[in-house]
Amino acid sequence: MMKENIHGCIVISLRPHQLPKRSMRALLKAFGPNNLSIQQATTPLDLGCQVDSQKYCAQHSSKITCIEWAIVNSHRSAQELSQMFPWETVTILEEDFMPRGELKDFVKSLSCCLRFLSKRSSPAGFHFFPEQGGIFRTSRTTDFLRAVWVPDFAVAYALNREGLAKVLSAPVDPRSVADWPKQVRKIEWWANETSVFLHPAPELVRSENHQLRFNRKRKRFEARSWVNRQVWVQMLIRFSPLMLTERIGNQTIENELIRSVVLRSFLLHRSRLTSLH
């Protein structure tokens, strides 16, 4: 378990009493019972929308579905709740998270990431599932990766105190989406070479009523569309003869076309290859 009152965790769930036992055991081992909170997720019904609407509601925005707007509000509520605790970092998880690997290795990896994040003096976040839609670069001062383009999926991430204050300083924009509102993208983001949490959890994918995972249809930025700027940027980087890139992870993701990549400088890449021989 990590040091008392340093790191905390909030899980957003539609069914707080039905979270997978393995996942909860891992969180209790990592954070302890005093630094772990389960928050009831906001639903479209709470916002006066249709309960299971995949349509674009004029009540909040013509560019976001009712379910996605509920997810945006769920994340904001979790971020606001974390202010009540004396935590240096807060980890926010959606209910379909799954700890990666054996329990001992998972706790060690998570602890290392959060310790690094808590030492950042600038507003910062740590993305625990960086496999889809991200662009990263290597750092000369740490083994962690610095995000050039923040990955999709807000299923698992952490903020330090400064990052939390930065995110909460701006109102929630109804034209944005759950992954991510504009103010979230403005802080510095970091990630591990391999995911600390996986997404989605197999136990929850089979649930027909799991709204936090399903029905996320994004009209706006169309992650699967060739007109999306993110797709073109990634393709140019990946196939450029002037850049050394590596793809991140092997977890099944929504769209393999935009699997996250790492930009590596030639010197760092060459030294890494040398150390392997």
pLDDT band at 93 (very low <50, low <70, confident <90, very high): very high
- Better-scored residue on pLDDT, 89 or 229: 89
Q: From CA 227, how far away is CA 26, in angstroms rounded?
A: 41
- Better-scored residue on pLDDT, 176 or 20: 20
Contact 44, 200 (CB under 8 A): no
pLDDT at 71: 86
Q: What is the pLDDT of residues 161-199, one digit of tens each?
A: 999 999 999 887 766 665 677 778 789 999 998 899 988
- The CB density around residue 197, as the number of other CB atoms within 10 Å, is 25
Mean pLDDT across 68-95: 93
The phi-psi region of residue 276 (left if phi > 0; otherwise alpha if psi is between -120 and 50; otherwise beta) is alpha
pLDDT at 28: 96
Name the token pair of 157.
């991430």
User: In this structure, is the dihedral angle defined by the CA atoms of residues 249, 157, 137 and 268, taken in order, positive or negative?
Assistant: negative
pLDDT band at 119 (very low <50, low <70, confident <90, very high): very high
- Better-scored residue on pLDDT, 239 or 129: 129
Nearest to 97 by CA among 195, 244, 190, 219: 195
Cα 1–100–67 angle (5° rounding)? 100
Judge whether residue 12 has pLDDT over 80: yes
pLDDT at 236: 62
Q: What is the pLDDT of residues 41-58, one digit of tens each?
A: 988 888 887 655 566 666
Nearest to 220 by CA among 272, 255, 158, 175: 175
Judge whether residue 105 has pLDDT over 60: yes
pLDDT at 214: 41
Query: Distances in Å between the alpha carbon of 144 and those of 99, 109, 185, 189?
Result: 19, 12, 18, 10
Q: Domains of the chain: which residue ranges?
A: 7-276
Contact 110, 30 (CB under 8 A): yes
pLDDT at 258: 75
Judge whether residue 250 has pLDDT over 60: yes
pLDDT over 90, % of the chain: 40
pLDDT at 206: 44
Nearest to 101 by CA among 113, 93, 109: 109
Nearest to 65 by CA among 225, 221, 254, 218: 218
- Better-scored residue on pLDDT, 179 or 33: 33
Where helices occur in the chain by DSSP H, the ranges are 21-31, 66-82, 103-118, 161-168, 182-185, 202-205, 229-239, 266-276
Q: What is the pLDDT of residues 192-249, one digit of tens each?
A: 988 999 886 544 444 433 444 444 444 444 444 444 555 666 666 666 555 566 778 7
Query: Distances in Å between the alpha carbon of 49 and those of 54, 56, 66?
Result: 11, 10, 6
Q: From CA 124, how far away is CA 120, in angstroms rounded?
A: 7
Q: Of the ranges 26-40, 82-96, 166-180, 259-273, which one carries the lowest mean pLDDT score?
A: 259-273
pLDDT at 56: 65
Q: In this structure, which amino acid lies at residue 277?
A: H
Considering the domain 7-276, what is its CATH architecture?
Alpha-Beta Complex (3.90)
pLDDT at 139: 87
pLDDT at 268: 45
Name the token pair of 91.
């980890």
